[in-house]
Structure 1
């Protein structure tokens, strides 16, 4: 690999963009394992409202989170047009119910702006940064915050 290609790889990030709660978000492409159509899940008793239940993914049982509900944007009405983003981090795999997946976004590290300080610890923990795309802002989701939610940590 040339030196220029190595520098580009260090400063270039790829994200999958999606919509949840009518808002635009993204995750680093390296965190996403697959994107699946919505199918009903198995509910579990005493789970938080943003945990829809579990799904069998090729023999592994994974929790499914409603990302819009997790972020306080109301529940996503589950229907066949929605998708589940299967994401993994540190050996833990989860599913995120979202309204739709949009595109792959390649950006330079310098294009990722800091999350504004709005005096909300939950926002700072959940959103790693902001990317301006055309006339919209895309929020970079902190998958670790979503995983923490699955372990009973409240944002």
Structure 2
């Protein structure tokens, strides 16, 4: 998604000497706690205000429950809890980002959504290295816009297949 090095692509037939990696990336920026994150806008299905959910017994704490979105059961994951960023508060700014991940629909609850930003590849810096006690496999890099920094995340890495497929377990 954000990887600038696609050297396996042979671009000899392109007369303007550029390739698809030169294209800017559109990122949805949102906040969780005091940090600003960014995800590929192409993964976003819609934005919704936060409403009550149906809790699932014995679900992980960050799994807020499910909602019925036009006939589709959508699991809701609270990112503040999932990322261990403190106790969530729900207010008029709380937003659910409904994502389409490999044909599955999942909602992530975030503190607010700020905007859609366009990043060129030279605005994306590599993710820092962490010791093995920190699971940061979902961090793709850091997007920089002037003094602003977005933690760019791969939502497929951040959210497990089990969390995405909760609707299939409920139907069984």
Is structure 2 residue 125 aligned with structure 1 residue 129?
Answer: no
> Can you give the 5+ residue segments of structure 2 that lack an aligned partner in the other structure?
1-13, 166-172
Q: Is the CA contact 1:84–1:95 (under 8 Å) kept in the aligned structure 2? A: yes
More strand by share: 1
Q: Which residue of 1 aligns with 2:26?
A: 14
What count of residue pairs does the alignment treat as equivalent?
149
**Unaligned runs of at least 5 residues, structure 1:** none
Greater radius of gyration (CA): 2
Which has the larger helix fraction? 1
The change in CA–CA distance for 1:3 and 1:143 in structure 2 (over 3 A counts) is farther
Q: Which residue number corresponds to residue 146 of structure 1?
A: 158
The TM-score, its normalising length taken from structure 1, stands at 0.86
Deviation at 1:134, TM superposition (A): 2.5
State which of 83, 86, 105 in structure 1 corresponds to 2:98: 86
SS in 1 for 2:135: helix
Q: Following the alignment from structure 1 to structure 2, what is the Cα–Cα distance between the partners of residues 139 and 108?
A: 15
Q: Which among 54, 69, 81 is matched to residue 66 of structure 2?
A: 54
Q: Considering only aligned residues, what root-mean-square deviation do their CA atoms show, in Å?
A: 2.2
